[in-house]
Amino acid sequence: MSLRAVHTLAENATPVLDRIVAAMRTDGIDIDLSTAPAPAPAPAPAPEDADLLLACGLLTIEMIHRGHDREIVAAPHFPGERGGLYRSVIVARSAISLIDAAASTIAVNEYGSWSGWHGYVAWLDGSGLEPTGERVLTGSHVASAEAVRGSIADVAAIDATIWRELVDQTGLTVIATTDDWPAPPISLATRLDDHTVHRLRDSLRRSGFVDDADDEDYRFMLSARTDLS
């Protein structure tokens, strides 16, 4: 029976996971790639059911914290990044101060997103600030950038791996860049037998497309997440 690899991230994550899955197939591992959510009427793959999952770090560590049978094993390399790292850029229509940004209307892709919300709030907190302006929920990083460009919101925190594809299209200004975080992780279902887990881990390392990672690398997100919504 084929193993199933699933990602729940934006479209730019598909080629990242696709090349990892291709490397695994070269190693003789029978694994198929799905994305979630799937277009209707096709059923969306359930992240918790995936054998191999690439998802937001906060979502993954929250699943593990709630008792889902998963373990983080790797941080993938996104194009243009220094290994298994990423960050967010804070964008606005023109240069403004962080104090003004914190008080401005912010476009939020999802309240469960690390790069688009919780990480931004935690990063502001490091400067003694918190977002006090109104919030506009957009559904995606691309939509958040469009909301700022269209004056529906004043600022947004955009995943830098997505921003690279938008930078020449939006005319927006990067006013700040957050600290580096571990990239959205790859986790494995702990129901898999030891032999399968060993083969998957070994193939991931040999691919050259990931850094080793574990649950502890992402646990800080649990304490840094915000109840603001």
Q: Provide φ and ψ at 179, rounded to 5°.
A: -65, 160
Residue 22 lies in a domain: yes
Q: Which domain holds residue 40?
A: 3-83+182-224
Residues 83-105 have pLDDT tens digits of 999 999 999 999 999 999 999 99
Residue 12 lies in a domain: yes
Residue 61 lies in a domain: yes
Domain containing 167 — which CATH number?
Answer: 3.40.190.10
Residue 149 lies in a domain: yes
Query: Which three-class secondary structure string do you get for the chain?
Result: CCEEEEECCCHHHHHHHHHHHHHHHHCCCCEEEEECCCCCCCCCCCHHHCCEEECCHHHHHHHHHCCCCEEEEEEECCCCCCCCEECEEEEECCCCCHHHHHHCCEEECCCCCHHHHHHHHHHHHCCCCCCCCCEEECCCHHHHHHHHHCCCCCEEEEEHHHHHHHHHHHCCEEEEECCCEECCCEEEECCCCHHHHHHHHHHHHHHCCEEECCHHHCCHHHHHCCCCC
Residues 110-168 have pLDDT tens digits of 999 999 999 999 999 999 999 999 999 999 999 999 999 999 999 999 999 999 999 88
Residues 184-208 have pLDDT tens digits of 999 999 999 999 999 999 999 999 9
Number of domains, the chain:
2
pTM across the whole model: 0.91
Mean pLDDT of 16-29: 96
Decide if pLDDT at 76 tops 90. yes
Query: Burial, 56: exposed, middle or buried (Cβ in 10 Å; 0-12, 13-18, 19+)?
Result: buried
Residue 45 — very low, low, confident or very high, per pLDDT cuts 50/70/90? low
Same domain, yes or no, for 58 and 27? yes
Residue 93 lies in a domain: yes
